[in-house]
Amino acid sequence: MDFSLSIIVEAWPTFEAGLITTVIFCSVAGVLGLVLAVPIALAQLSRSWSWRVPAQVLVEIVRDTPFLVQVFVIYFVFPATGVPMSSTVAGILALTIHGAVYFSESIRGAILSVPRGQVDAARAAGMSYPLTLRRIVFPQMMGYVLPPIGNQIVGLIKDSAVLSIISVPELSMAFQNVLGTTFAAPEAFVAVAVLYWLLTSAVTLAMSRLERLTPTHRSTEEMTSLLAKVDR
């Protein structure tokens, strides 16, 4: 079998451009998604149904339909209703909404993981709900929220490959281009797999660093239950 690294070297500019596009799309969508995820999670936990119901509807729609279909809907349905849509905007929008919904589920779970007594103590001291979230709940939920968020960022990177279907020039698109011009299937396959793996490994590494930075002034019982959750 012929396996020629020089083919990968020659096609590198194409791969590099794709990789950069993937990183940019995922970074923008990741950050926007995280920012949007907090209000979605809080709306789902709201006592008032006028907040809860719209958030739940959004979460269900996004969770219960394939990402590919979501991309199509945003890219093809919006222009049909008169909203102009480029593949870049559609790609980032789809990835952001997708990320926000999955992040929000992790954040909601993490908020609920903070023991009820911690919130009771804050409210009993006269702290408002927003103040309680900011001072008590958010700092304590970091240990619960970082592991699933890390997994979801990795998921986001892998899902971004779908955007090649609407011609976003990201890594999978670059791979298809290389494949089309060189006809060197094994080399291109290996190259694209390794590049995705490097990207997701970097995220995983960064997240575990971040986890180690969060305060671990927890009781041993809490740590044990926390580790049990991470294992699952």
Partner 1 sequence: MTPPPIIRVRNLHKWFGDAHVLKGIDLEVKAGEKVCIMGPSGSGKSTLLRCLNFLEESSKGIVLLDDHPVGYIEDADGKRRRDSEANINRLRARMGMVFQSFNLWTHMTAAANIMEAPIHVGGLSRQAADEKARKLLKLVGLEDKKDAYPARLSGGQQQRIAIARALAMDPEVMLFDEPTSALDPELVGEVLAVMSELARGGMTMIVVTHDMGFARAVADRIVFMDHGQVVEEAPPSVFFEQPKNERTIQFLAKISSRPF
Residues that bind partner 1 (CB under 8 A): 115, 117-118, 120-129, 131, 135-136, 139-140, 215, 217-220, 222
With respect to partner 1, which residue has the nearer C-beta, 13 or 139? 139
CA distance 227 to 223: 6
Tokens of 183: 């006809």
CA distance 56 to 124: 30
CA distance 95 to 27: 10
Q: Tell me the closest approach of the beta carbon of residue 223 to partner 1, in angstroms.
A: 9
With respect to partner 1, which residue has the nearer C-beta, 40 or 122? 122
The answer for residues whose C-beta is within 8 angstroms of residue 195's C-beta and 6 or more apart is 15, 19, 171
Q: What's the half-sphere exposure (Cβ side, CA atoms, 13 Å) at 124? A: 6
Q: Tell me the closest approach of the beta carbon of residue 15 to partner 1, in angstroms.
A: 44
With respect to partner 1, which residue has the nearer C-beta, 119 or 166? 119
CA distance 192 to 198: 10
With respect to partner 1, which residue has the nearer C-beta, 96 or 132? 132
Q: Tell me the closest approach of the beta carbon of residue 210 to partner 1, in angstroms.
A: 16
Q: Tell me the closest approach of the beta carbon of residue 219 to partner 1, in angstroms.
A: 5
Cβ 192 vs Cβ 172: under 8 Å: yes
With respect to partner 1, which residue has the nearer C-beta, 61 or 131? 131
Q: Tell me the closest approach of the beta carbon of residue 114 to partner 1, in angstroms.
A: 9
CA distances from 139 to 197, 204, 224 (A): 31, 21, 19
